[in-house]
Amino acid sequence: MLRHTATCAPIATLLVLLTAAWSACGEPECPYGFLKVGKICRRVDAGTALDASDSDEEPADASRDESPSDGGLDAASGQEDAQRRGDHASLEGGTGADAVVDSGASEGSDGGRDANAPDASPIAELQGVQQLSAGAAHTCAVLTSGSLVCWGSNASGQLGDGTKTNRAAPVTVLGITGAVEVACGSAHTCARRTSGAVACWGANGAGQLGDGTTEDRLSPTAVSGALNARKLAAGATGTCAITSEDKVACWGEGSDATPKNVYLPTGGFEQIAVGSAFACVSFGPIACWGSNMMGTSQGAVSAVRDVAAGDNHACVVTRDSMVACWGQNDVGQLGLRTTQPVMGAMTVENVADAVEVTAGKTHACARLVSGAVKCWGSNSAGQLGSMTMGTLAVLVPGLSSPVEISAGAEHTCVREQRGTVRCWGRNTHGQLGQGNMNDVSSPTLVVAGGRQ
């Protein structure tokens, strides 16, 4: 900008007149070609910017600034940024002062950076995942190293990191090596090692950890007895395993605080699933037991490849690659053109060539031979992977060669062939693993986290 000084008499005279007019007329507007700066009209050339040093107003007294030095943000604005990022923010609906969210990064590491500012480098994605399981509001994954990572709700210690802090990005489970399988229940988690030994952690009010007590555990504790498991499943408050001796052992809801064999008049068990208060096992056909309020233990199917248990509904993949479901159906979780409950297995419409099925609280999904995924039922938080509403199965877009699928209460995750994970749906507790608590209705990569 050009600066005009008192040596230019006409302009100086005009400035004096304008200043006098200011006092007499109550701050009038400056004439064309002049810009109001403080209490003085100054002439500017077209297209010339006025920088802050041109202002005649008194600068703010830095000594009166009580805001923290990290980026010049005050406490209130810093907290708002943290809430937008999901870092260390208080969790709505938590169970106390310890129910907070941690994105996996160290506290204060962003120095008060604006949440909308671009990162200097892209966020790393979780890699090397070998197996996946989604619980009610948390998710866990087995890595190629045999270690285990979890993220999401941790109100009962179900993430196994020794705390009750919710995590919006993956953290390592303490003391787990040689893991080959993980199973997530509502608020507890169990892992099977290569030896067949099982360890569990989290909520234990019904004895679902199998350690002979009903005390919650913040880190893994061994299941009592020589279990020698080869397949594992966890439900709301119960856990079951198929053993190497071709037995089915369960503990927790409807059983005991230590594993007890379920009486089944056959063997050759292949797949097992545990729901809210029932369980099913396949051995060619399928057998179910437990609560039968909505017909969940009456799914008589003669040939089964996979089985899944939701809150009050169950689904199977048949030998001819169709999906059949039964039980509660108030929001279309059976994938039919009705919302009436079904007491026996009915074929899901619009789904064929299925290889795997999973069931959430009130929704279900199937992975197809082609690699496509279709979901149906409740879409209250986008857990179907699209904004489509209705009772029939819909295609989930944006996936890259999924090889495994797992549904939580209101979220869904897939493991991709390259060892990455994508999740979508409810994210109130960080169960999508994206470093924030924002619900999403389309598949989004899980980040690597900060404590692996």
Q: Using 50, 70 and 90 to split pLDDT, how confident is the model at 395?
A: very high
Which residue has tokens 């545990």?
274
CB 55 within 8 A of CB 38: yes
CA R_g for the chain:
30
**Helix, strand, coil shares, percent, the chain, to 5:** 10, 35, 55
Average pLDDT, integer, range 332-361: 94
User: Tell me: the pLDDT tens digits for 101-145?
Assistant: 344 433 333 333 333 333 334 569 999 999 999 999 999 999 999
Residue 343 — left, alpha, or beta (φ > 0 → left; ψ -120 to 50 → alpha)? alpha
Whether residue 306 is predicted with pLDDT greater than 70 in this model: the reply is yes
> If you ran DSSP here, which 8-state letter would residue 64 be given?
G
Task: Tell me phi and psi for residue 445, to 5 degrees.
Answer: -65, 140
Average pLDDT, integer, range 409-414: 98
Distances (CA, A) of 227 to 51, 129, 210, 258: 75, 25, 10, 10
Per mean pLDDT, which range of 112-126, 150-164, 175-189, 344-358 is the poorest? 112-126
The residues, any chain, with a CB within 8 Å of residue 411's CB and separated by 6 or more, are 134, 137, 139, 360, 381, 383, 423, 424, 425, 426, 427, 431, 432
The residues, any chain, with a CB within 8 Å of residue 243's CB and separated by 6 or more, are 196, 227, 228, 229, 230, 249
User: Tell me: the pLDDT tens digits for 35-79?
Assistant: 444 555 544 443 333 333 333 333 333 333 333 333 333 333 333
The reported pLDDT for the residue numbered 261 is: 93
Higher pLDDT residue, 291 or 122? Answer: 291
Sheet holding 271-274, edge to edge: 271-274, 278-282, 286-290
Q: What is this structure's pTM?
A: 0.74
143, β-bridge pairs: 129
The reported pLDDT for the residue numbered 343 is: 87
The reported pLDDT for the residue numbered 400 is: 87
Tokens of 422: 């994508």
User: Tell me: the pLDDT tens digits for 36-48?
Assistant: 445 555 444 433 3
CB 171 within 8 A of CB 151: yes
CB neighbour class for 452 (10 Å; exposed up to 12, middle 13-18, buried from 19): middle
CB neighbour class for 180 (10 Å; exposed up to 12, middle 13-18, buried from 19): middle
> If you write DSSP's letter for every residue of 10-45 in order, what string do you get?
HHHHHHHHHHHHHHHHTSPPPPTTEEEETTEEEE--
CATH numbers and ranges of domains, the chain: 9-54 (no CATH), 129-445 (2.130.10.30)
Distances (CA, A) of 341 to 296, 299, 374, 386, 390: 10, 13, 21, 25, 16
Mean model confidence pLDDT for the chain = 79
Per mean pLDDT, which range of 82-86, 217-221, 236-240, 246-250 is the poorest? 82-86
The reported pLDDT for the residue numbered 295 is: 65
User: Tell me: the pLDDT tens digits for 171-204?
Assistant: 999 999 999 999 999 999 999 999 999 999 999 9
Whether residue 321 is predicted with pLDDT greater than 60 in this model: the reply is yes
The reported pLDDT for the residue numbered 134 is: 98
Q: What is the separation of C-alpha 6 from the centre of its chain, rounded to a whole number of angstroms?
A: 67
